[in-house]
Structure 1
């Protein structure tokens, strides 16, 4: 095993993955949300940087090739689990049911990751045929953008809730209508809240669709190796 800067960045991304969840155990909110967002976005940025540096400096290694997809999956899977725990429960209904708009795409993504990982493990040496495709790379990019936006949405939701305390509905409506001066940037916070939620959920569903497509593509490529001997 040879450590170089690209491999160190990949290791940092792998270590940062569980920290995205652990910060909520040790830090108060919204400070924990800020730390989780910064950790995740920094780790997502290293996903691009480590590969670019390894190719530019000709420092591609087997260790890096092995660790990079593991770090990516750990980042995505842990972040999705955290988001589902934080925002996937419908407290308003009183039933504590999971929200389908979060649960369905997250389950699809998790199922695909487990399925493809198991497929690669079963194929062993033949798994070299299951090379990461460009569409799979786009899938990872869309997933990371969706997760980043949903962490932002959680922050906007917190500040919107904090500002609404002590403000009655008529005052909030007056601020939004522009008839009362917006001293607390309520208008911008509501704008960020609405659009980060809309784009985050839309990209989450898009990433789930890309996840299903790439998973089926990998399965088709693996089918010749799954045939029983005649």
Structure 2
């Protein structure tokens, strides 16, 4: 193993993956949402930084090439599990999350089975776009959780008629429930659109990897 800055960044990204879930064990919401969002975004940024530094400094290594996709998958899978949990297993999230996690597990299994011939499944440009869409969708959906919590805290103790009157402008919005509700609404739909786009890219790239692996899966 070669211990250089790109590989250390990749290892830190891998260690940050369970940290996203741990935020919800030690902090109350919405702080847990914001801390998880910040940790996820910082870790996701290292995905680009470590690759750039490895190429620029000519420090590419087998250890980094092995660890990088594992760190990406761990971040995505754990974050999706957390989001599925606080969304109440909403089908708009559960379906794409399930397909994404299935594909990631399937491709990892293919790479393990192929062993020395796993170079056949090199990361493509489309796969990189897939990862970017996944991570962007996850970051946006973490902010949705924070906005929803702020809104629920602001309307606690209010009856439905009062909330409707504030949102319609009949009563002053002193608690800012309007912008909190709008934040939850728009971040939700932006996150959902990005997540479904990521799902489509995930399925396409998974099928492409299977096609490339088929010659090595046939019995003699």
Superposed CA RMSD: 1.4
CA deviations on 1:107-153 (whole Å, 9 max, x unpaired) are: 11111111111111111111101110111100000000111111111
Give the paired residue count.
220
Structure 1 residues not aligned, in runs of 5+: 90-98
1:135 aligns with 2:126: yes
| Residue-by-residue CA offset, 1:31-80 (whole Å, 9 max, x unaligned) | 22221111111111111111111112222111111111010000001111
Which residue does 1:145 correspond to in 2? 136
For the 8 Å contact 1:23–1:36, the answer to whether it is kept is: yes
In structure 2, the partner of 1:62 is: 62
The aligned runs of 1:18-33 (5 Å cut-off) are: 18-33=18-33
Preserved contact between residue 10 and residue 71 of structure 2 (Cα < 8 Å): yes
* 1:183 aligned residue (170, 174, 187): 174
Q: Paired residue for 1:197?
A: 188
2:148 maps to what in 1?
157
Partner of 1:110: 101
CA contact (8 A) 1:17 1:78 kept: yes
1:16 counterpart = 2:24: no
Structure 2: unaligned runs, 5 residues or longer: none
Contact kept in structure 2, 1:88 and 1:103, CA below 8 Å? no
Q: TM-score, normalised by structure 1?
A: 0.91
| 2:216 equivalent in structure 1 | 225
Q: Is the 8 A contact 2:166 2:173 kept in 1?
A: yes
Is contact 1:18–1:78 with CA below 8 Å preserved after alignment? yes
Distance in 2 (CA, whole Å) between partners of 1:181 and 1:60 is 59
| Structure-1 residue corresponding to 2:88 | 88
TM-score by length of 2: 0.95
Which range moved further: 27-36 or 175-184?
A: 175-184
Shift of 1:172: 2.5
Query: How do residues 206-217 of structure 1 correspond to structure 2 at under 5 angstroms?
Result: 206-217=197-208
1:96 matched to which residue of 2? none
